[in-house]
Amino acid sequence: MVLVTFKTNAYADITMFGGAAVSLLKLMGQSGNVPGALLAADIPEALQTLHDGLAKLSDEQAPAAAVQQSADEDEAPPVALHTRAGPLITLLEAAKASNDNVLWDS
């Protein structure tokens, strides 16, 4: 199991599972490569792209999620990507406010 840690001087490190991290990176308009970095000047655009991607993803997956939930009543539902994105969004917003770069590595 691969873990990816996001770092900036403006916020505490965020560690998440590699699959979720790569998916979020791609939604931010990044290649998904680990390791990687975002310059402070690129963070506002990446943050907006991430919000837009998550909104589109939520719209597309809402009907499927309802069907899956009724079919899997006994199983705990998987954690949605937009839920996993919360800490990363907070980190990106802090980096944007402080004009700091963001790095990620496994």
The pLDDT tens digits for 20-30 are 999 999 999 99
> How far is it, in rounded angstroms, from Cα 89 to Cα 23?
14
pLDDT tens digits, 67-80: 444 455 556 677 78
pLDDT tens digits, 28-37: 999 999 999 9
Tokens 């939604």 found at: 27
The pTM (predicted TM-score) of the whole model is 0.81
Taking CA atoms, 11 is separated from 6, 18, 102, in Å, by 10, 20, 10
> How far is it, in rounded angstroms, from Cα 12 to Cα 9?
8
Q: Where are the domains of the chain?
A: 3-70+78-105
Structure-block tokens of residue 82: 């937009």
